[in-house]
Amino acid sequence: MVLPKTRLIRRAACRPRISRIMILPASLFALSLIGTLASALIPGQSDWLLLATPCAIASLILVLRAWRPKPRSGPDWVIVDGSNVMHWHEGRPDLRPVRDVIRALTEAGLTPGLVFDANAGYKLEGRYLHDGPLSRRLKLPRDRVMVVPKNAPADPMILTAARDFGARVVTRDLFRDWTEDFPEIRQPGFLIKGRYEGDRLTLDLPHCPRPLLLRGLGLAPSGSARPPSGG
């Protein structure tokens, strides 16, 4: 993802390909074409045109359909409102909820891209953190993390990135000030909410029959001797 300042740039490549699926219709087209020409040129065989010509047309359509460029399936993006998510557990700024959301989305087959307010680093570590330091702390490629410029609101960046990528947004923010410019906010499932019960994260993903549950925050299950990780 490169948010353009939303630097998120997605490329869906289209590439024509020859496959086994094309062999049969191509063979039928060749035979039908030969039959059509033979019927037209050989005296007394004109009746075969009634059969050969429709076969040639039908097989040509099949060849064109098989040859048609097919787009590669690109990543299914979800934009994460990082400055919102980092307050999900007990209201204190913490990157562990962000890591949990990244893990949950990834395990669901989705590709997270994150946007943070300019003051996120000050809240987390008392100093400014740009894209690079935050991406390293989250173990993500730098082009999938964006810190908006100082004095610029993150909300329009988040919503613009979501629109550019046909993505949903993980946040508890309702973006009420932006519904006129981004009416998709009102669409059911566009905003993905989440919550913690203890160390258990729940994400309300629209395509899941039940909310996605994840034991997170780097805490081992009760009674487990497994040491904490990721915190």
pLDDT tens sequence across 45-79: 666 656 666 766 665 566 555 555 444 456 899 99
Amino acid at 127: R
pLDDT of 24 reads 63
Mean of pLDDT over the chain: 76
pLDDT of 4 reads 45
- Helices 20-41 and 49-67 sit at what angle, rounded to 10 degrees? 150
User: For residues 230 and 96, is the Cβ–Cβ distance under 8 A?
Assistant: yes
Q: Where do runs of H (alpha helix) occur along the chain?
A: 20-41, 49-67, 82-85, 95-107, 120-125, 131-138, 154-165
Q: Which residues of the chain have pLDDT under 70?
A: 1-26, 28-29, 32-33, 35-40, 44-53, 55-74, 207-231
pLDDT of 75 reads 81
* pTM, two decimal places: 0.64
pLDDT of 42 reads 74
DSSP string, 91-135: TS--HHHHHHHHHHHHHTT-EEEEEE-TTHHHHHHSS---HHHHH
